[in-house]
Amino acid sequence: MILSEAMMETETFVSVVQQQFEESGSWDMASIEVGLRASLLKDGCKILEGLLNQPNALGTQIPSGTCHEKRTRNVQSILGSFTLKRGYYKNENSRSFPMDQRLGLIGSYTPGLAKLMCRSAGMDGSFDEARDTLSVYAGVDVPASQIRLVSQKVAPDLAQWSQTRDESRSKKVPIMYISYDGTGVPMRKEETQGRKGKQPDGSSATRELKLGCVFTSQSCDEEGNPLRDPDSTTYVASFQRASDFAGTLLHEARLRGLGKAEQTVVLGDGAGWIWNQAKINFPQAVHILDYYHAREHLNELVLAVAPVEEDQDPLLEKWIKWLDDDKVLWIVEEIGSRLPRNGKRRTKAKLEREYFRKNAERMKYSTFKEKGYFIGSGVIEAGCKTVVGKRTKQSGMFWRVTGAQNILDVRCAVIGNTFEGYWTDRNQKVLEGLAA
């Protein structure tokens, strides 16, 4: 009965299309696609409304208490908006609309639409772009403000779920890589009060976000270069202090099967906090300083000790060869005989000498390459751009810490291929609540 009474829009549209064809002898395919889709959505929404407004829609699980009159609520779904009529139950301990709970509604949105709203909020460049995406591709019109509210509401639960999720990618692998980096996120003024930064007045306009990733590698290409396993990368992002974030990344690595990996490798740039925490949390791992950061520092060192331009290229070429051949300490030793007598160049040269001395064990690139390890931290550096930058550093964006954290938790889940698992588990919990 519900189905037969609800297909009027589609039947009417099909009749009109057929009549136009009989009159013109041709098909307007573009108009047919758009019109038929709209008609089917309208009829589908009527069907959904009819199913959910049946007298026995609550099934056999009738809650205790007094059921007051049916109260209506406008609910928006991926099929469109409909009116839900449901009872209001009251007893000594609670007051509720059990039908809302049975359907897993998030505010006035169905789980299916809320899922799309969250995904668009995390993956599009802004909430306005998310609104346009849903309108163009899903055919639903939701205000940007509601997309923001729903995604901010769901994100904390998603983040908590992620900490205890079942992870199918925790199998035994030859090499697990763990990488850290930090990047600034533009903040509202109230979030940067009292913080030192790079503004002309010495204040800060950003807060540092720490990003970590875990990925695996099981093979190399024909030239012996390691290959990252497809879809193996997961990310964690946080405004926590370094020690707390390191614990978060360690937890993610354990979820991903840290104890099963034959070898663990930590990749990072020269930031002190990275290696301090890596020593604590991954003491048995191979620690590799990003090769391209090392090359940048080598360039700076050459400029500091060789002010004559014609001397720079031969020296750089020699030192690059030493860097590539695990002879970083040779560079450190030679700097001593080339230190400028005074001035800024001497200070710079001494700083760079200490950089290479301190990181020499992390710069054994010939050895690392022979063992088939990645020597560049490109995955995490790209993540700072694709995971963080594309969503939180758009022109005119200024965030609260909580808001940025929530949207990045959603984005990390989508990019790390855990987003679908969250919604599957959430739906299962709703169903288990019905059976309880």
Q: Chunk the chain into consecutive blocks of 10 residues (it has 436) and report each block's average pLDDT, rounded to whole numbers.
A: 71 93 92 94 94 84 77 94 90 82 93 98 97 95 97 97 95 96 95 87 92 96 92 97 96 96 95 95 97 96 92 95 97 92 92 96 97 95 96 95 98 98 94 64
Instruction: Return the bridge partners of 187, or none.
Output: 399
Looking at the fold, whether 252 and 346 belong to one and the same domain comes out as no
pTM of the prediction? 0.91
Q: What is the pLDDT of residue 2?
A: 55
Q: Is 58 within the bounds of a domain?
A: no
Residues 92 and 237 both lie in one domain: no
Same domain, 252 and 381: yes
Q: Are residues 70 and 157 in the same domain?
A: yes
Torsion of CA 61, 66, 69, 75, to 10 degrees: -40
Please indicate, yes or no, whether residues 218 and 143 belong to a single structural domain of this protein: no
Specify the pLDDT at position 436. Answer: 47
339 and 408 housed in the same domain: no
Please tell me whether residues 396 and 428 are part of one structural domain.
Answer: no
Place of tokens 């995955």: 379
Q: Are 108 and 143 within 8 A, CB to CB?
A: no
CA separation for the pair 129, 121 (Å, rounded): 8
User: 97 near 87, Cβ under 8 Å?
Assistant: yes
Number of separate domains in the chain: 4
Residues 146 and 258 in one domain: no
Neighbouring-strand partners of residue 106 = 109
Is residue 336 located within the same domain as residue 401?
A: no
Look up residue 401 and give its two tokens.
């810490």
Q: Parallel, antiparallel, or unpaired: how do β-strands 286-289 and 95-96 relate? A: unpaired
Question: Looking at the domain assignment, is residue 370 inside a domain?
Answer: no
357 and 308 in a common domain:
yes
Closest by alpha carbon to 186, among 31, 425, 403, 332? 403
- Is residue 371 situated within a structural domain? no
Is there a domain that residue 79 lies in? yes
How long is the chain?
436
Tell me, what's the pLDDT at 425? 96
Buried/exposed 76-99: b ≥16 CB within 10 Å, e otherwise: bbbbbebebebbbbeeeeeeebbb
pLDDT of residue 3: 60
Please state, in angstroms and rounded to a whole number, the distance separating the CA atoms of residues 231 and 42: 37
CA dihedral 275, 281, 283, 289 (to 10 degrees): -30
Judgement on whether residues 196 and 265 belong to the same structural domain of the protein: yes
Per-residue confidence (pLDDT) for residue 195, from 0 to 100:
87
Say yes or no: 123 and 176 in one domain: no
Say what the pLDDT of residue 194 is: 84
Domain that holds residue 216: 166-290+376-415
Two tokens at 137? Answer: 């591709």
> Does 60 fall in a domain?
no
Residue 368 lies in a domain: no
Does any domain span residue 106?
yes
**Is residue 423 assigned to a domain?**
yes
